[in-house]
Structures are given as C-alpha cells and as structure tokens.
Structure 1
C-alpha cells in the first residue's frame, strides 16, 4: 500500500523585459531563483503567480503563456520541515513586466534583471536550471517533464 504524503503545487515565472533581461530574486537563504510561489488551499494558480512575483521582487506582471509543467517525484522535506513531500508539481509561465519597482521582501534579499545567457551561471538549484533551460529551448509548445531529485 502506498503511503499518502504531502504534495505541493507551485508556480514560477520567467519574467523577461523588453531588453531581453530575466528577473531573478535571491532568497533569504542565499540562492538565486525564478520568482513565484506555492499554491495554498483554495488559491488560483494565476493569482498566486502574479502576487508571488510582486511580493518577491516588487514587479507587476501579466502572464503570457505556459512554458511547461514539471513533476518532481523525489521525496524531500518541506521548506518548513513539517512533513515529507512526495511530489512537487511546478507550472512555469512566461510573464511580461508591466510596472512596479524592485524591492526585497521577507522571502528575498535582492532582485535583479540579468542577461538571458547569464542566468544559468547565477542559478545553482538543478530543478530551476532544468526549468530555465526548457525556457531557453522553448519552441512554442508547452510540455511536461518528470524527474526525481531530493532537495
């Protein structure tokens, strides 16, 4: 019999400005990531994405299109170490900035716009690198990928 564990649904945005720069945020724990957030009970995925980007970076966005859906089936601890997580599903969307001003937050210590080809040098988390590379290889067709990693 399979044991039922906690699952997480999260959204992340690849926010590209008119100059081809990508928005990154640095977490309070030190890593550079794509902005977004985890979906809580009763929340709308798009609302979480727009709000998460605003809260983490100060930038207002509109969501343009879905790049891909990623399912991490590796078992790892939650951010709060409350329980094991058996699956984390991430929806990765392309977003366009429409306003706002850069800022830090409770979750992030810094935000920046970076040239597209330098993002993989800054982002160290393998799952985020995988999702960003999928954006770089994007041919206009959304896709699904599954993988297993422990975080």
Structure 2
C-alpha cells in the first residue's frame, strides 16, 4: 500500500448548548477530540464536518482555527513497516447543531464531557497538548 508522505489532518473542540465538549474513545489512542485526515480535494472545514459526523453522529458548525500542530516523529503505519509521513494538524472550535451520539469503527464510545474534565480522561500527551491550546 502507498501511504502519503505528508498528512493533513483536522480536529475539533466541539461544544454543545450546555458547554460540554464532544469526546470519542479511539480503539488505539483512548479518549480524544474527533477529527482525522483530510481527503484529496476536500477543504479543512469540510473534512472536519465529515470526520465529526462519521465518528460521532453529530453535525457541526465549524468555528475558529485555534491551533496548528506538526508531528515529525518517526512512527510506523499499521502495516508495521512503512513510516508515517509528517503530519500537520489544524485544530478548530465548533458548535454541535444536530445529530445523535453514535459510535463507529473509529469510536468505541462517544460522550459529552464538562470542559474542565477533558484533560483528565485523555491518555496521549500529544492530544492533551492539542486540546489545551483550543
């Protein structure tokens, strides 16, 4: 399989009417904000809307761009051989507008979490850094 040399990704700190933040539990990384890879020909905001809907069932309105992260660590693709390319990730805020919480292959669990508690449930340091900035 040919993997991209550079990956563009998006993530969203999505808030509901009560001020809670949308969180999902990824099978590999644990709790994190929804998001993922931008597909060819897709805008950053369209990618975020698609990823949030696919992973959580929630339709969103994208807010402000709040963070840009890069990851150039040497890691391997799921095949265990091919290197992961450098990743540039754009972090946005957003508001939930409709939909019902739904899980997917990428989200074992989905829930709304009080803003002050989100850092407590995240295991991965890189994700804590992303969330803390937004």
Same fold (TM over 0.5): yes
| Contiguous gaps of at least 5 residues in structure 2 | none
Q: CA RMSD in A?
A: 1.6
Distance 1:77 1:123 in 2: 22
Q: 1:38 to 1:72 in 2, by over 3 A?
A: same
What do the CA deviations read for 1:42-97 (whole angstroms, capped 9, x no partner)? 22221111010001001110101100111112121134546212411100000100
SS in 2 for 1:94: strand
Select between 125-134 and 81-90 the one with higher mean Cα deviation.
81-90
Is this contact kept in 2: 1:56–1:108, CA < 8 A?
yes
Verify the 8 A CA contact 1:6 1:83 in the aligned structure 2: no
2:45 is matched with 46
The corresponding residue for 2:13 is 14
* Higher deviation after alignment, 40-49 or 63-72: 40-49
TM norm structure 1? 0.80
Gaps of 5+ in 1: 136-151
How many correspondences in the alignment? 131
Structure with larger Rg: 1
